[in-house]
Amino acid sequence: QGTMRINDRGHLEIGGCDTVELAERFGTPLYVLDEQYFRQNCRNYNRAFMEKYDGEVLYAAKTLLTLAICRIIAEEGLSLDVVSGGELYTAKKARFPMERVYFHGNNKSADELKLALEYKVGRIIVDNQYELLMLNKLAGEAGVHVKIMLRLTPGVEAHTHEYIKTGQIDSKFGIVIENGQAMEIIKQAMALENIQLTGLHCHIGSQIFEMESYTHAAEVMLGFTALVYQETGWQPEEMNFGGGLGIYYTSADEPQPVSKYADMLVPAVQTLAKSYGLITPRVLVEPGRSISGPAGTTLYTVGSVKEIPGIRTYVAVDGGMGDNPRPALYQSRYEALLANRADQQPEETVSIAGKCCESGDMLIWDINLPAPAPGDILAVSSTGAYNYSMSMNYNRLPRPAMVLVRDGAADIIIARETYDDLIRNDMVPERLGESKV
Ligand code: LLP
């Protein structure tokens, strides 16, 4: 996948870089991002949605955002979906074109909304009535007119992990269609003087493989639009179907090509719009995982190998739930190999343990590998999305560095945290004087 290959030393190579050398040079744990693969994923979306259907592709920043990533997204011509003041600030600092920024979130603060108005973001995706009224007031105070989309809950349940289902009715996100709330809020938005309602949004979940979930969402959204048009005369010029395309983590996953996703969703929208006598809205999508996920690999160094005869062999690595909380949070599964012995056949079933003080900090249960020994480099694949962005300092472990690799060059895009970073925000009150640092 991507630029991954096994070189003639039997080492895993990514972006023309020997990963064993990367581990030596930059230390472990280390996030490695394959630039060419990341860009290729952007281009696949460009081709499938923008070039073919004149749609728009918004990269979901929550999966992985840094200043360098912003530059790549800007260069590839994608737009950006941000969900917090922090992500917005990152985009601004990277000089990302603000008119291509879409601001999401189910509980944006007044300060975050003010920042978005000040930066003049392209759209604000309003999640609820409280936000709608607050935004109208803030826009009035700032003397600006703001373009918004409304996030609806279409009641579509994509088959995915319970925690990441967001399209169903009983959800903290968006405005319910069925009970009349959405209709009421659309009418309200139309009447607000500082707001321009340009479109509707929905997001039906993440790590989705059934493309029918998207066409089903299109049916619900267009069906509702027809009612709105009848009752109000308003119709959306753009419709955003969120993100969610699934990726390969293990052989249980069967990713669908981006082209199929586009070729199912967009024509469905076109046909439905036509059948209801509506103008065809521009289709927007917000992929995150399917752009950044497969482009990331995490390198770890193997430490203790503990065999409990007849039961299990625990292979401990120098990272874990701090840099990848997904297995602990969602029982997510990953594949891995020994980067320094990538040409060897698996000979043993082992389990990969993290180094946090929690029994639940297990990265991979039961994986076949060439018998791992201390000092081996373990490469876990598909860690580009929701790994660094969800990382934490539990047990005061510093976050790893990230390197961007391409054509044999490796550049740090996130510096490794230091112990000083860990105590940077600690304060010692005067009355504890003796412990002054
Ligand atoms: N748009 C909206 C409104 C979203 O809520 C999400 C993800 C996306 C786009 C991007 O979805 P993607 O293409 O990445 O599936 N932390 C969980 C996933 C949470 C998904 C949150 N929303 C995980 O690690 O699996």
pLDDT of residue 162: 52
Residue nearest to atom 24 of ligand 1 (CA): 386
User: What is the tally of structural domains in the chain?
Assistant: 2
Q: How far apart are CA 62 and CA 293, in angstroms?
A: 12
Burial grade of 374 (CB within 10 A; 0-12, 13-18, 19 or more): exposed
**Residue 342 alpha carbon to ligand 1 centre in Å:** 32
pLDDT average, residue stretch 166-185? 88
Same domain, 366 and 228: no
Contact 363, 355 (CB under 8 A): no
Q: Which of 287, 322, 337 is the last residue of a domain?
A: 287
pLDDT of residue 435: 55
Residue nearest to atom 5 of ligand 1 (CA): 203
Q: Which of 254, 287, 320 is the last residue of a domain?
A: 287
Short-list 28, 46, 51, 42, CA closest to 71: 42
Inter-CA distances, 2 with 13, 15, 294, 295, 365, Å? 11, 8, 8, 7, 25
- State which ligand 1 atom lies nearest to the alpha carbon of 104: 3
Contact 372, 315 (CB under 8 A): yes
Q: Is 416 annotated as a binding residue?
A: no
Residue ranges lining ligand 1, Cβ < 6 Å: 60, 63, 81, 104, 164, 166, 203, 206, 242-245, 286-290, 326, 330, 385-386
In a domain, 371, yes or no: yes
User: Would the pLDDT of 129 be above 70?
Assistant: yes
Q: Where do runs of H (alpha helix) occur along 239-365?
A: 258-275, 289-292, 326-330
In a domain, 184, yes or no: yes
pLDDT of residue 85: 98
**Residue 244 alpha carbon to ligand 1 centre in Å:** 6
Amino acid at the residue 298: T
Which letter does DSSP use for residue 193 in this model? T
In a domain, 40, yes or no: no
Structure tokens at 42: 């952007």
Q: How far apart are CA 390 and CA 324, in angstroms?
A: 7
Residue in this structure with the two tokens 């509707």, named with its chain if needed: 200
Q: Is 167 annotated as a binding residue?
A: no
pLDDT of residue 307: 97
In a domain, 430, yes or no: no
Q: How far apart are CA 25 and CA 393, in angstroms?
A: 23
Q: Is residue 357 among the annotated active site residues?
A: yes
Considering only 160-174, 216-230, 325-339, which range has the smallest mean pLDDT?
Answer: 160-174
ipTM value of the model? 0.99
Annotated catalytic residue within 17, 42, 356, 357: 357
pLDDT tens per residue, range 336-364: 999 999 999 999 999 999 999 999 999 99
In a domain, 207, yes or no: yes
Same domain, 302 and 242: no
Split at pLDDT 50, 70, 90, the class of 160 is: low
Same domain, 256 and 235: yes
Residue in this structure with the two tokens 């009421």, named with its chain if needed: 184
Q: Is 330 annotated as a binding residue?
A: yes
SS3 state at 77:
coil
pLDDT tens per residue, range 378-436: 999 999 999 999 999 999 999 999 999 999 999 999 999 999 999 999 999 999 976 55
Q: How far apart are CA 146 and CA 141, in angstroms?
A: 12
Domain region containing 298 = 5-33+293-423
Same domain, 212 and 307: no
Split at pLDDT 50, 70, 90, the class of 158 is: confident
Contact 415, 401 (CB under 8 A): yes
Q: How far apart are CA 336 and CA 367, in angstroms?
A: 8
Same domain, 243 and 307: no
Q: Is 286 annotated as a binding residue?
A: yes
Contact 3, 15 (CB under 8 A): yes
Structure tokens at 56: 């728009």
Q: How far apart are CA 146 and CA 195, in angstroms?
A: 5
We report the CATH number of the domain holding residue 18 as 2.40.37.10
Measured in residues, the chain has a length of 437
Question: H or E stretch including 55?
Answer: none
Apex 260 CA angle, 258 and 262, nearest 5: 70
Same domain, 183 and 261: yes
User: Would the pLDDT of 166 be above 80?
Assistant: no
Predicted TM-score of the model (pTM): 0.96
